Structure 1
Amino acid sequence: MIHYPHQGLRHPNTRSSSTPKRKISYRHDRFFHLPTTIAENDPVLRRLYSIVSLVLDDHPYPSTRQEFYRRTSEIQRNVRNLNLSPMKQKFLHRLMSETDVTLVDLWQGSHIIALDHGHLYNTWSKFSSAHPRFSSHYRDVPLQQYGINFFDHQLLFGKTSIHGSTWFQMEAHGFDPNEIYNNPDLVIYHGQDFLKYRFHQMNVGPFGFSPHTEMNDPIIRPYQPLNTKRKQKYQRFLTDQAFLSRFTNEFKQKI
């Protein structure tokens, strides 16, 4: 079953009311502003959480359409502030166009599977910017995983099986033992991300959390190459032009 997040969200009620209503915080808001039950009951974890909670941009996953629009706008601003190279911007634009993944899911770390028979993996793994990585994902798949850096953040990707689909997720901090020598802080940052994942059981992206993990409701997207989309758009244009021409000729004959 293909998962399309946000489609089932209801539009916020825009009708005005003369009686002011107390703002009710959403379950996710309450959850993310407090340590988890485990952290509250363990004095050691409670101290760790008080430190870890200050490290990242801890935005919860949007639970309403209004929150989704707000987070999209905020993430757009955050991505602009990264000042990515034109090549990286083009890469992300194509990724989102071909998989229809949202900015929220990409930058809040959702685990995404593209039904592409491994095409994206085969293409991305040949990039000079793709660095070999290892992770806890799909341990039974004997294929090299890779990461593409976006400054401190990293797009981790691999395949679901030898002949399977490409999976990917944006991580707040990538981790590669070969990079520890140049940047020892990676161990600390990635460790903090791991603690947050263990506390919340949610992926930790550059700009927030996501409940869509490898083991829990991953986002599955159909893959459609950009060239195919352009051909389909052009074909629709030709069809519309043919219909308009036929309609015009019939109208002239009646006159």
Structure 2
Amino acid sequence: MKSYVYPAATSTARALIRYIIDMMNREPERIFYLAFSGGTTPSLMFDIWAHEFREETPWMRMRIFWVDERCVSVSDSDSNYGTMLRLLLQEVGMPDEYVYPIHGDCRSPAQEAKRYSDLVSSTVPLRRGFPTFDIVLLGAGDDGHTSSIFPGQEYLLSSFHPYEKSINPYNGQPRIAMTGCLLFSARKLIFLITGKNKTEVVYDILKSGDTGPAAYVAHHAADVDIFTDIEIDG
């Protein structure tokens, strides 16, 4: 695992955008399959990306998917797809046919998880029988959750279904979450974690044991980087 530490959330976001662009530029003939998370930190990154890196990003070689989604309408501020759509995708004119959202306004989260699992399995290249994203971008909650897999839901890390229904234990909100079979098969897994309230989570990822879903994923995935503005001594 490699960690990249920057002075602030904005500089961390810029560094990550540059990292992704450079990764794509090193293989100019390839289509890249990327899965994005939601939340406040990626929202900052999306805004910066649209306004500062629009012209140099190879958008037409991106195929965009989601790590997880809250079961709300696309117009809801909680919608991961809706947020990225408004802040980035519409701003840069990303073609709809290159964007594969989870339908958060579905009636049955379990059925939508199955639909999205089938879509990803038929669209993203397979390796060892599992869809393999080039980049999976993850965040982490201050409780150590990631990909809408909360503490106590670690069984989702060993699921062989690419996506499953999960429940936010704090408010009962249903979600759809990427499970371990995709997280651990990703070509590159990147954590973007900023804010002093996440210090303990970053410490667990870098220095501690498998203390929660985020730390477990970071310790067991094949190729992991962490971009953060949190300095951990030692």
Provide the TM-score with structure 2 as the length reference: 0.27
